[in-house]
Amino acid sequence: MSDEYWLISAPGKPTPRQTYDQVCTATGKDQLSTNFIFNIPDLKVGTLDSLVSLSDDLGRLDTYIEGVTRKLAQYFGEVLEGEKNKLAENLVVGPNNVDPVTYVTDFQWDHAKYPTKQSLKTLSEVISKAVTHVENELKLRSHTYNNVKQSLQALEKKQAGSLLTRNLNDVVKRENFLLGSEYLKTLLVCVPKALVKDWNEKYETLCAMIVPRTAELIAEDQDFCLFTVTLFQKTEDTFKHKCRENKFTVREFTFDEQALSSDKQQLSKLETDRQQLYGSLVRWLKINFGEVFSASIHIKALRIFVESVLRYGLPVNFAAIVIHPWRRAAKKLRDVLNQLFGYLDQSSTGRHDDNFDIPGVFSSQQEYYPYVYLKNTQSCNRRCKINDCLILQLVSNRFYSYMQNLAPFIVYQYLLMSTNVSSHSNDTISLPVEINQSYKVRLFLFRHAESQSNIKRDIIAGQANEVDLTDLGCKQAQLLGKRLKIEKLIFDQAYTSTAVRTKRTAEIALTEAQLSLPDNAVEDLCEQSQGDWEGIHRHEIYTPQTIQKMEVLNFDHSAPNGESLRQVQRRALKFLNPLIDRAKKESIKQNRSITIGIFSHGGTIRSLIQHFIQSNPKTAWLISNENTAINEFVIDPRGTMCVRVNDVGHLLLLA
């Protein structure tokens, strides 16, 4: 069987049951499909004007509810983590807890929730209100759970890892330190194993006032050895500088006997909180996935009803049928249906060519048939693999394909699908350069490495230009540099924002790659300003009312005295467009490609990617960009081509 389900309706000839039997007979000869009656009750018709208006509203509402259903299923899979094999048994619908496929093929209208005495518009409003409430609650619940989970992971990460990055409270002991001295101080130095001999020979002479023979090995792992060394406090800064020059790392550490106990208590509390939240969240997701999925199918029933009345007229007499085509039988099945119902619209012949129906991409022309038709793409079989689309999907004029942010290119492909643009966009940047002149500009957008503000996820950071990198961030930037060196990238020009974290990322990465440091720090490349919200806990700001406002304004939403993403995009392009103009001319002049490197921030880069691929601004938030992500664009006479988005393959070396 194929992964598609079709939902069609045709006039009762003379009764709905006879039409259904006719379809079963025609499709059963060559085993083209399996068919099911889609039970739609007698609903209030209303006026013609109300039906026409409602037809458009239901289409939009259908798309919205599908999106909420996908969010629930996707997040359910993320929450289950190692128990993803249990996802299928939790994605159930209706009072009998049946799987989604069974629910659709054996659909029964829920008269208790949606009384048929109410008008069609009232029914759609009831469904819309219920789904909106679930979506808002999902945001709040997921935010709370994710905060606890991320805090727990951050603390566990500190307890693990190498000596270069891990928490040292459970490694060192009181006797390793000289405590209570007014002049002397004990430091911890992390030395690569390959440089231990070098350390033993050099440490006493790195600077003045180091106490001789105080270096003591207190711990080691696969890559590093941890030494203590005692010196006079006034030479600490000089010692640290000399250590950096010799590739020794001085760990920032203050001995605290209570810290180890405090960390263990915090770890235990966070784990308890996570387990409590996990249980209630799984129960909530299971219940509300079923509720929203059921709402989605009821909306589709309303759409079939409205479209059928508009198409076939009164009195209401049509058969709604769910059709599951057999594999490779779709084209022949379509021909059979056209033969059965072609009399309904003789002019429809030839309006649609299945050769243009490419899954995952908008068709070059609208799908139209003489009968009412909705396509239902069922990309999850009864095993419900989490990496597939988990939701039954019916669309009247367009086919949307759902894709997760699991790989660098997937987001880009999704955005192309949702805006129907090609990978080349000729109107991205217009320049007074003749098309017959050959030029090529390679533009690289790099997000900064992990900073201190990234690990404080419950705080709204905004620009925070003075925030530096974490120890992990320094390692990420070093791996980015190795990646640049492997790819043999050489930048003709390189720029950073004025923020410390982008400057440090560029400095570490370009030094590792043995490339020249950035030409300038540019204020227009800074992160989105969050104005009065900066430094405030997220739960204090992101109330349901604020979230609703953000969803409405979307790309144009800004915090009080802050910036919207559109404003960020404009200021970034104010710098970038003239830079690309000059690079094009230089490329023509030198008859070679010009390569530009930009070290910036997640929000700024997200807005630029949206601009370059000309996607719907409402989808900009879907563009994932992790720390040190590589985003590459090529600009030539054909337009702007996206080569890769969110490429963080180099970070796999951290595992």
Active site residue ranges: 448, 527
Name the residue among 530, 525, 573, 568 with its Cα closest to residue 550: 530
Q: What letter represents residue 194's amino acid?
A: A
Q: What's the token pair of residue 477?
A: 């930037």
Cα–Cα distance measured from residue 1 to residue 327, given in angstroms and rounded to the nearest whole number: 5
- Let me know: does 469 contact 504? Beta carbons within 8 Å: yes
Annotated ligand binding at 452? The verdict is yes
Name the residue among 544, 532, 527, 483 with its Cα closest to residue 508: 483
Q: Is the torsion defined by CA of 243, 245, 251, 253 positive or negative?
A: positive
Helices (H), 489-564: 500-512, 538-541, 544-553
Annotated ligand binding at 366? The verdict is no
Annotated ligand binding at 246? The verdict is no
Annotated ligand binding at 453? The verdict is yes
Helix H or strand E encompassing 10: strand 4-11
| Cis previous bond, 560, omega within 30 | no
User: Whole-angstrom distance between the N-terminal and C-terminal Cα of the chain?
Assistant: 40
Bridge partner residues of 462 (DSSP): none
Name the residue among 95, 75, 85 with its Cα closest to residue 291: 95
Annotated ligand binding at 624? The verdict is no
Annotated ligand binding at 506? The verdict is no
Annotated ligand binding at 430? The verdict is no
- Let me know: does 551 contact 559? Beta carbons within 8 Å: no
**Sequence-separated contacts (24+) of 573-582 with Cβ below 8 Å:** 573/608, 573/611, 574/524, 575/522, 575/524, 575/525, 576/608, 577/429, 579/493, 579/495, 580/429, 580/431, 580/441, 580/443, 580/635, 581/429, 581/431
Cα–Cα distance measured from residue 395 to residue 300, given in angstroms and rounded to the nearest whole number: 9
Annotated ligand binding at 583? The verdict is no
| Cis previous bond, 14, omega within 30 | yes
- Let me know: does 629 contact 446? Beta carbons within 8 Å: yes
Name the residue among 241, 255, 270 with its Cα closest to residue 167: 255
Annotated ligand binding at 454? The verdict is yes
Q: Is the torsion defined by CA of 309, 311, 315, 320 positive or negative?
A: negative
Angle at which helix 602-613 crosses helix 565-590, to 10 degrees, equals 70
Cα–Cα distance measured from residue 508 to residue 322, given in angstroms and rounded to the nearest whole number: 59
Annotated binding site for substrate: 447-454, 501
